């Protein structure tokens, strides 16, 4: 299995777990779990592949991706009641999946010889869109829109870090690992320490 496929597999697996956790919060049945798991797990990469004209889309050419989603859904269906805070698990698994998916999206766009702006954007899109679809479909506020948290910013920093690493001569694989690490550290720092960028305020505080 290629390094890029490994990244895609990992992000699909972990995003599928987050999708199934969201399904557990919506009290769906087992097939509903699998449905949301698939949507979340392959959503971002599917948009990326369609935009890049990749034919076939990664999971259509390799159905094992779908089986992984189903396995993740079954696993969560029978074990989610064992964990204390499903929402905390959701946040942290999503953080992990986001980081890997950003690296995967960046890597696929690089392998298509896209210019830097598009590579960075595909990293962000692959990372953010699956979770966005998950949250929009179940009617929750998308994580990417949570005020005062780094999410799209972490994704952007991750794929941006890969571009910088490549430009100073670091090879592709370590550059993609740097992307995942950068994204993961920023997002984790946001969850633990409340790291954030200044948000827009309609009336700026008087100084």
User: d(Cα 200, Cα 188) in Å, to the nearest integer?
Assistant: 22
From residue 20, alpha-carbon distances to 31, 69, 165, 173 in Å are 10, 9, 35, 30
Backbone dihedral region of 109: left (phi > 0), alpha (psi from -120 to 50 degrees) or beta?
A: alpha
Residues 147 and 124: their CA atoms lie apart, in Å, by 18
Q: Is 56 in the site for a second copy (CB under 8 A)?
A: yes
For the CA atoms of 29, 34, 40, 42, what is the dihedral angle to 10 degrees?
Answer: -170
177 binds a second copy (CB under 8 A): no
Please tell me whether residue 28 binds a second copy under the rule CB under 8 A: yes
Contact status: 111 vs a second copy (CB under 8 A): no
Q: How far apart are CA 161 and CA 2, in angstroms?
A: 22
When binding is defined by CB under 8 A, the residue of 32, 71, 111, 163 that contacts a second copy is 32
Q: What is the rounded CA–CA span in Å between residue 175 and residue 158?
A: 10
Our finding on whether 35 is near a second copy (CB under 8 A) is yes
- 109 and 52 Cβ atoms separated by less than 8 Å: yes
Distance CA 155, CA 83 (A): 28
**Beta carbon nearer to a second copy, 171 or 198:** 198
- What is the DSSP code (8-state) at residue 143? G
> 3 vs 118, which CB is nearer to a second copy?
118
Q: For residues 56 and 171, which CB has a smaller minimum distance to a second copy in the complex? A: 56
To a second copy, the closest distance from the beta carbon of 28 in angstroms equals 6
Residue 81 is a binding residue for a second copy (CB under 8 A): yes
Which of residues 2, 85, 113, 147 is near a second copy by CB under 8 A?
147
Least distance from C-beta 145 to a second copy, angstroms? 6
Q: How far is the CB of 100 from a second copy (least distance, A)?
A: 19
**Using rule CB under 8 A, residue 67 touches a second copy:** yes
Binding site for a second copy (CB under 8 A): 23-24, 26-35, 38, 46, 50-53, 55-57, 60, 63, 66-67, 77, 80-81, 86, 114-118, 121, 124, 128, 132, 136-139, 141-142, 144-145, 147-148, 150-153, 156, 196-204
């Amino acid at each position: 299995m290629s390094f890029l496929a490994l990244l895609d597999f990992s992000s699909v697996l972990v995003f599928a777990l987050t999708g199934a956790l969201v399904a557990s919060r919506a009290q769906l049945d087992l097939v509903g779990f699998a449905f949301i798991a698939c949507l979340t797990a392959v959503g971002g990469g599917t948009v990326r592949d369609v935009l890049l004209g990749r034919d076939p889309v990664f999971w259509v050419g390799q159905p094992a991706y779908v089986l992984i989603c189903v396995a993740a859904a079954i696993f969560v269906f029978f074990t989610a009641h064992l964990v204390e805070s499903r929402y905390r698990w959701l946040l942290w698994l999503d953080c992990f999946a986001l980081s890997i998916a950003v690296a995967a999206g960046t890597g696929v766009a690089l392998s298509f010889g896209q210019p830097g702006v598009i590579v960075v954007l595909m990293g962000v899109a692959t990372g953010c869109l699956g979770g966005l679809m998950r949250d929009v479909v179940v009617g929750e506020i998308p994580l990417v829109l949570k005020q005062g948290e780094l999410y799209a910013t972490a994704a952007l920093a991750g794929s941006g870090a890969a571009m910088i690493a490549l430009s100073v001569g670091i090879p592709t694989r370590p550059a993609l690992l740097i992307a995942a690490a950068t994204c993961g550290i920023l997002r984790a720092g946001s969850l633990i320490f409340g790291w954030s960028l200044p948000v827009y305020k309609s009336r700026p505080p008087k100084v």
